[in-house]
Structure 1
Amino acid sequence: MTYPPLAVTVDVAIFRLLNGALHCALVRRDAEPFAGALALPGGYVHGQEDGTLEDAALRVLRDKTGVETPYLEQVASFGDMVRDPRGWSVSIAYMALIRPADEVAEITQREGDRLHWVPADETALPEPLAFDHARILDAAIRRLRDKVEYSSLPAHLLPEHFTLPELQAIYENLIGRPLDKSAFRKRMAEADFVTPVEGVKRAASHRPPQVYRLKDEARAVLFNRVL
């Protein structure tokens, strides 16, 4: 039996904090279709190389951007006969969260103008995106923002080591409102997804704050109630 051709791709929305605001990485396509247009990093699934869809997404991230991330989450699938002018295609969309470390600056410098960090706001994109990537980006942004109040996702955007005030600040940044300090710390203790870094405290003029790290960088913890 002859089966009709069907393209299967993965596309990744990479999020990081830049100057205190959530940003997403785009790349400029150098081949048709949509040559010269901005797009999410993506590529075909390699049937003989990729053991899983997540393997494909991690390979695309590494090959297209040089970005390595401990946190990757599948967002949704998108498929129809018009999203790609070459014919029927399916895209499995992922979101990746990376910390604001020096390595990201080095990646951006090494890639030159290939990586474009834009505010994570689908209504304020600098120009139309290739394919249906604006729709995919919108879904990824909504997934991230919807999970902020009941998961550990915001912590995956922080440096490897952080303080509880820094953790609370990133939650308040993404939620858009202040949180009660005592209630926040109680919720973090109940969720039990951070652990103290023994012997490490942040320099301060008064009492040095304890430094923490994630217990599991590759997994998000869901809370039993919202913040």
Structure 2
Amino acid sequence: MFHSMSSFEDSYQRPIVSVDLAIFALTAAGLEVLLARRGGAPFAGAWALPGGWIHVDEDEDLEAAARRVLRDKTGVATPYLEQVGVYGSAARDPRGWSLSVTYMALISLDAAALQQGGNVIDVAWSPINGEAVAEPLAFDHAAILKAAIARLRNKVEYSTLPVHLLPEAFTLGELQAVYERLLGRSLDKSAFRKRMAEVDFIEPIEGEMRRASNRPAQLYRLKQARTTVFFDRTI
């Protein structure tokens, strides 16, 4: 005896599936993450990581869904994006069994134009202190954020990842400052510049300089958009 497709589908409950983003930027205060205040149940009024449902008629794959959510919330279309993990259980969402595919994005603060809409009534940058933010987060987003922060800080030690927190044009001094702020320690200037030259991932912008107090500084850019190079040893 064969069941119709509709009766077959009705016999299985589908989990709630969303894409959630830990969107990082560097401000004058340090590393911050974008939070969205929820306008409806569950957790109405609580802060959470920005996210959204997968649009099966629009999103080609998971990364496309993540890029759409990011674009909708920040206006940024081509950031550094990396999947952090998949989180699922029967208890994380009171509406039922749910699954969250989580990404982290690194963007330059000056490129972001924060937007709200849908179930979001406010968006704001929140400083990261240690492995968390001051605000209690909805669902299991505190644990997700902790994992994303750990991933980011670990990669700073052996990759060019921090460059994605800078504007499109930057000086070597600004690049070193980003590393130092994320690592929480000073780096030797000559050793840092030697390492950057070795991995060969940036190029000078011909004729572009930034005026400084002592002498103009050469501006650089990524050789290839969204490039991330891994070092053979920690910085």
Mapped to 1, the partners of 2:27 and 2:181 lie a distance apart of 12
**Structure 1: which 4+ aligned runs deviate by more than 4 Å?**
110-113
Q: Does the 8 Å CA contact 1:69/1:97 hold for their aligned counterparts?
A: no
> Which ranges of structure 2 fall in alignment gaps of 5 or more residues?
1-7
1:181 matches 2:184: no
Alpha-carbon distance, 1:159 to partner: 1.3
Deviation at 1:73, TM superposition (A): 0.9
Between the aligned partners of 2:51 and 2:18, the Cα distance in structure 1 is 7
**Does structure 1 residue 57 correspond to structure 2 residue 66?**
yes
Gaps of 5+ in 1: none
Cα RMSD after superposing both structures: 1.9
* Cα distance change, pair 71–23 in 1 and its aligned pair in 2 (3 A): same
Matched, 1:216 2:224: yes
> Greater CA radius of gyration, 1 or 2?
2
Which residue, 10, 13, 32 being the options, matches 1:4? 13
Question: Partner amino acid for 1:171?
Answer: Y
Q: What is the Cα deviation at residue 152 of structure 1?
A: 0.8
Please tell me whether residue 121 in structure 1 is matched to residue 129 in structure 2: yes
2:152 is matched with 144
Amino acid at match of 1:11: D
Q: Which residue of 2 aligns with 1:100?
A: 109
Shift of 1:41: 0.5
- Deviation for aligned residue 1:193: 1.1
Q: Distance in 2 between matches of 1:203 and 1:30?
A: 45
- TM norm structure 1: 0.91
Match of 1:25 among 31, 34, 37: 34
Deviation at 1:20, TM superposition (A): 4.4
In 1, Cα distance between equivalents of 2:73 and 2:107: 15
Say if 2:132 and 2:146, in contact at 8 Å, map to a contact too: no
TM-score in terms of structure 2 length:
0.88
My pick for the range that moved more, 203-212 or 85-94, is 203-212
Q: Retained in 1: the 8 A contact 2:19–2:52?
A: yes
Offset of residue 179 of structure 1: 0.8
Check if 1:81 corresponds to 2:81.
Answer: no
Tell me if 1:36 matches 2:45.
yes
| DSSP 3-state at the match of 2:109 | coil
